[in-house]
Structure 1
Amino acid sequence: MSGGRNCSFKLIVFDLDGTLTRERSIWEYIHKRLGTWYGFAETFQERFLRGEISYEEFCDLDAQVWKGMKIDDLSAIARTVPFREGVDSLIEYLKQKGLKLALVSSGLSLLTSWVHQRYGFDDSISNDLLHEDGILTGKVHIRVYHDKKAVWVRRILQRFRIPEEEMVAIGDSRGDLDMIQMAGFSIALNPSCRDLEEAADLCFQSDNLAEIIPQLPF
């Protein structure tokens, strides 16, 4: 956090799950829609949070549940995830201001890629469920770790030749903390942890993203 309100901002990096959408995890959302969450996949999350398994093991266990399913079926479920109100208004405003838009998500590319295309983002990165001939193999290619988003944010900054102080970051959870801390201006949206709330320049409680617009420093 640098509090650069006088900067000319050129890029905004969004978290996706829980920020643009109302669901904090697309993994959990799909499991619930398929009936594989309660008493089953939720135990993987509990074990991870207790430190009993690694993040890689957590993701692998999740992906194995879907082995043999059609990726198109999961993609269709992902596209039913509810978005927050005001997404269209906020995106339109940011584009009018000339900012580039990026998504960095520890969720799944079957949602991230769709959001990228739907709203005309300039860059996005997330994790891939592997498949052969459209059938899920039960494997996942992890690119974005839950607590290491800054690695990808730096690559995006390098791609567009934009310094950190000219970047805005917005997220909702502890997994967004490292990119929030490096941004020229940062927003914690309905933050789920105090660390994020304390690190951000703006802490905003709302289900309507359009209400953020008057609070932006540009």
Structure 2
Amino acid sequence: MKYRATVFDVDGVLLTFKSSWEFVHKSLGTSGSLDDMKKYFRGEISYEEWCRRDWERWKSAKKDLTREDVLRIMERVVDYVHPNAANSVNLVKRRGMAVGLLSAGLEASTAKVAELLGVHLWLANPCYECKPVVEPKNKALGLKKLLEKLDIGLKEVIYVGDSLIDVPAMLASGCSIGVRDPQIKKFSTVWIEDLSLFEEALLQCVNHPSSVKPQPDEEQHKYRYGEGEHFDWVGLLDLD
């Protein structure tokens, strides 16, 4: 398989913090709701409602909060870029592949990372409008939308992610690189403890596609067969 692009998740991969939403919460002295997260993945509330509730929490700390305030907060993400982020992106570029960023987080942080790393292709969610561009439940669809801009198929891409939310995109891609979280090891073609080991993982995908671990297809790993609303989020995230 000849891969034409590598797409990186942003929060937790290229940035050292796990969530741009939580980054805003911490900056404002508020906190997100685990209960809202569970309700969203159980299908009890929409993304729009989950987003609206977070905005209300932010406004409890700053009543006249604007998009510009959030953008100013996100200016600080430059201090949280992974030390090996630029090298990882450059390794992909030197192999003649396109580079994309895909985040279910906020576009303010993704845009800043894209600017810093010289990446022109990215998708993330607006911080001023509660409408999903990359639905957290369906990053596989987000990946497909991103690749359509380049006329590249899902199996022609290497996807790099760090959390269970990345699993649909990882299973949809031709080769997946899981980073850090042991929970995603069984869903990853290649798993590494840290982005500093990215070159080794990239070489495994590119040079030895027949020797990398195949995706699990046992009944217990039925997650690979669905996406979005049909994906078994309750089972995967243990939301019961």
Shorter-chain TM band: 0.7 to 0.9
Partner of 2:191 in structure 1? Answer: 203
Query: Does the 8 Å contact 1:106/1:127 carry over to 2?
Result: yes
For the residue of structure 1 that corresponds to 2:136, the secondary structure is coil
1:47 maps to 36
Structure 1 Cα separation of the partners of residues 161 and 169 of structure 2: 9
2:176, 2:161 → 1: CA distance? 8
TM value normalised by structure 1: 0.81
Contact between 1:45 and 1:58, CA under 8 Å: does it hold in 2? no
Contact 1:149–1:175 under 8 Å retained in 2: yes
CA distance in 1, matches of 2:192, 2:119: 23
CA–CA separation in structure 2 for the residues paired with 1:158 and 1:33: 35
Residues in 1 aligned to 2:145 and 2:82: alpha-carbon distance in whole angstroms = 28
Residue 56 (structure 2) aligns with:
64
Q: Which runs of 5+ in 1 are unaligned?
A: 1-6, 131-138
Aligned-partner Cα distance in 1 for 2:48–2:69: 24
User: Residue in 1 aligned with 2:30?
Assistant: 36
> What is the CA–CA distance in structure 2 between the aligned matches of 1:211 and 1:76, rounded to whole Å?
32
Q: Give, in angstroms, the shift of residue 143 of structure 1.
A: 1.7
Report what 1:88 is aligned to: 86
Name the amino acid aligned to 1:201.
T
Q: Quick one: higher RCO (CA 8 Å, sep 6+), 1 or 2? A: 1
- Do the aligned partners of 2:143 and 2:169 also contact (CA within 8 Å) in 1? yes
Are the counterparts in 1 of residues 137 and 165 from structure 2 also a CA contact under 8 Å? yes
Please say if residues 10 and 167 of structure 1, whose CA atoms lie closer than 8 Å, have aligned partners that are also in contact: yes
Structure 1 residues 76 and 192: CA distance shift in structure 2, 3 A: farther
- SS of the equivalent of 1:125 reads strand
Aligned to 2:108: 110
User: Shift of residue 92 of structure 1?
Assistant: 1.4
Percent identical among aligned pairs is: 27
Secondary structure of 2:181's counterpart equals: coil
Structure 2: runs of 5 or more not aligned = 207-240
Aligned residue for 2:10, secondary structure, equals: coil
Aligned residues, how many? Answer: 195
More strand by share: 1
Cα distance per residue 1:76-100 (max 9 Å; x no partner): 2223231222111111111111111
Q: CA deviation at 1:36?
A: 1.3
- TM value normalised by structure 2: 0.74
Larger fraction in helix: 2
CA displacement 1:1-54 (0-9 Å, x = unmatched): xxxxxx2211111111111111111111111111112xxxx3x33333255644
